[in-house]
Structure 1
Amino acid sequence: MSVLTHGTGSFFGGNSTFADVMLPRTTNTYMHEYNQIAQTASYLNTPERMWAAWYAYIGNDVLATGIMSFMMHEIVYFGRCIPWLIVDRIKALRKYKIQTHKVPTAQEQWDCAKLVLLSHFTVELPQIWFFHPMAQYFGMAHTVPFPPLYKIIYQIAIFFVFEDAWHYWSHRALHWGPLYKNIHKIHHQYSAPFGLAAEYASPIEVMFLGIGTVSAPILWCAITQDLHVLTMYIWIVLRLFQAIDAHSGFDFPWSLHKFVPMWAGADWHDTHHEKFIGNYSSSFRWWDLMMDTQSGPEAAKKRRERKLAKAAKSA
């Protein structure tokens, strides 16, 4: 931890905020803050200097985290969706499309994008805005230097497992009659999903399923008091990638599920949209396999065979 101080507060780490401990500013520019930090904390790497300079430049931790979180979410979400929009228009790649007879039109994608944007600004933005106070309450760090890479990796691995369990049972519950009709049906408007449709859902569903994404890190932090906002950001980015890719509608020879055992992938979730039932998991396949809720003709065939074998045995 740094020992650079201003007044009585520690500039890096501790309980003080960046705004409280920042050295006096002679000009209100981001580059001024960056250069000042580079001179006084040369042991920090470039990303750490950029991070600290951002908080110092904004001068308000809640505002700094809120702006950075929302911009990150929008850039990552739509930035990841754009390649899939292009892939949808390349006929040479059409052979990798899972439901080849269902290609989303430009109008469908535009209508989807409008609802997703509306949801981002009306539902997700308020939640993102209150993230920093909640994170601070549970002891989540936002200071520099950043945690080591190994810690980031194993914590995110835990988050993936936790979120997948939450998503399975929550998603399965949303397919119960009244909940499906009044909440989840919106998400199933597209029986052949595409990237933009990953967050095409009712506000209630966005909040309900989002709890799994946010509560895993918060619970971990509350128990261990050992989590950094950067780890949270990387987790959110990877979770967005997973959700968008699962809705892409394409299964390539290099798709992740062909190299990572039990990874769900687009083929798993595409079948869920096509059949409207089963394959409830988000990232992994094990919950569906354990609970016998796989979707698709092969899974249905195996269930019939088990049922016939059981009937023959009891006869």
Structure 2
Amino acid sequence: MSVSPWNSTVLPPSTYWGQYQDITKSNAHLNVAERLWVAWYAWMQNDVLATGIMSFAIHELVYFGRSIPWVFIDSLGILRRYKIQNSKVPSLREQWDCAKFVLLSHFTVELPQIWLFHPMAQFFGLSTSIPFPSPWAMAYQIAIFFVMEDTWHYFMHRALHWGPLYKAIHKIHHQYSAPFGLAAEYASPIEVMILGFGTVSCPILWCALTGDLHILTMYIWIVLRLFQAIDAHSGYEFPYSLHHFLPFWAGADHHDLHHEKFIGNYASSFRWWDYLLNTEYTPDALKRRREEKAKATKAQ
């Protein structure tokens, strides 16, 4: 007869819940999340294994958990009026083929990198201990990571649109001119490593320079970055989309045009690099360029 670990008072410490109960008895000052965290590492008895499994599981659950709702939205057509390219709706077959390709990439390309993450993070001083950092510390660090990663992504993504690199590497990602959620990580292994490097290396660089970063902050950053990437590829523009409240936020309308036209709008999260370096591809930007060209012609 099985007994719920939450109700049981006697569990062998060899089980995860046994470890949790032992830690709870001797560390009443820790909150529930911190106890669950310590119990996980204590039960696994191998920090590399514990971090590797947790990192990969978080990535898969968030990626597919956030992408699959868009599959239903596309298939049922319930939000079609918000579809940016509403004449191009991916079929279930296309979405399934995309999911298989992405899953294969996750296991063959991303899993080895994730497994090496803990030793690298420890080398640079990333903390896995408790107590957890304050919400404020995590918030300002994640904001910095968004800015750093957006800069890396802009210049690397723009480079990948250079002829030879586009044909050899980036063309795979542009197979879908009307993107959808699952296609966020539909890319060649080389591209996954190049652009994924920015997601991981920016926090690691911060940690190396400041000596102040907890792996929980890293996890929250990666979850938010996944949400951003999937939503940017969703193909839907809503009245409550974030860029309506933060004008410098990129969003789906910004990236959808990039897939449709194959040029401009290279940044990941923000619009400022595209604006500053004149690679913004929007109706307003095109109008501004035409006006500037007309003024220059008139001045001559």
Which of the five TM-score ranges fits, normalised by the shorter chain? over 0.9
Q: Are 1:80 and 2:60 an aligned pair?
A: no
Q: 1:34 aligns with which of 16, 20, 24?
A: 20
For residues 267-286 of structure 1, the aligned pairs below 5 Å read 267-286=253-272
Quote the offset at 1:303 in angstroms. 1.2
Q: Are 1:219 and 2:192 an aligned pair?
A: no
Q: Are 1:179 and 2:169 an aligned pair?
A: no
Counterpart code for 1:119? S
Quote the offset at 1:26 in angstroms. 5.5
8 A Cα contact 1:195 1:248, kept in partner: yes
Quote the offset at 1:296 in angstroms. 3.6
> 1:151, 1:207 → 2: CA distance?
28
Counterpart code for 1:220? W
Query: Partner residue of 1:104?
Result: 90
> 2:13, 2:278 → 1: CA distance?
63
For residues 197-208 of structure 1, the aligned pairs below 5 Å read 197-208=183-194
8 A Cα contact 1:165 1:281, kept in partner: yes
8 A Cα contact 1:275 1:296, kept in partner: no
Counterpart code for 1:140? L
For residues 140-289 of structure 1, the aligned pairs below 5 Å read 140-289=126-275
Superposed CA RMSD in Å reads 1.1
Quote the offset at 1:295 in angstroms. 1.2
Q: 2:102 aligns with which of 116, 120, 125?
A: 116
Counterpart code for 2:113? Q
Counterpart code for 1:59? Q
Query: Partner residue of 1:306?
Result: 292
Counterpart code for 1:97? K
Quote the offset at 1:72 in angstroms. 0.4
8 A Cα contact 1:96 1:250, kept in partner: yes
Which secondary structure does the structure 1 equivalent of 2:79 belong to? helix
Q: Which stretch shifts more, 185-194 or 80-89?
A: 80-89
Aligned length: 290
Quote the offset at 1:251 in angstroms. 0.4
Which secondary structure does the structure 1 equivalent of 2:78 belong to? helix
> 1:90, 1:291 → 2: CA distance?
40
Q: Which stretch shifts more, 80-89 or 61-70?
A: 80-89
Quote the offset at 1:304 in angstroms. 2.1
Q: 1:63-93: per-residue Cα shift (whole Å, max 9, x none)?
A: 0000000000000000000111121123331
TM-score by length of 2: 0.95
Task: State the 4+ residue runs in structure 1 displaced beyond 3 angstroms.
Answer: none
8 A Cα contact 1:271 1:296, kept in partner: yes
Counterpart code for 1:201? A
Which secondary structure does the structure 1 equivalent of 2:90 belong to? coil
Q: 1:3-27: per-residue Cα shift (whole Å, max 9, x none)?
A: xxxxxxxxxxxxxxxxxxxxxx954
Counterpart code for 1:273? H
Counterpart code for 2:99? A
Query: Partner residue of 1:15?
Result: none
> 2:283, 2:262 → 1: CA distance?
13
Q: Which stretch shifts more, 79-88 or 44-53?
A: 79-88
> 1:258, 1:174 → 2: CA distance?
29
Which secondary structure does the structure 2 equivalent of 1:156 belong to? helix
Q: Are 1:133 and 2:119 an aligned pair?
A: yes
Counterpart code for 2:122? Q
8 A Cα contact 2:13 2:22, kept in partner: no
Counterpart code for 1:144? I
8 A Cα contact 1:139 1:221, kept in partner: yes
Q: 1:72-117: per-residue Cα shift (whole Å, max 9, x none)?
A: 0000000000111121123331000000100000010011001100
Counterpart code for 1:197? A
> 2:236, 2:197 → 1: CA distance?
28
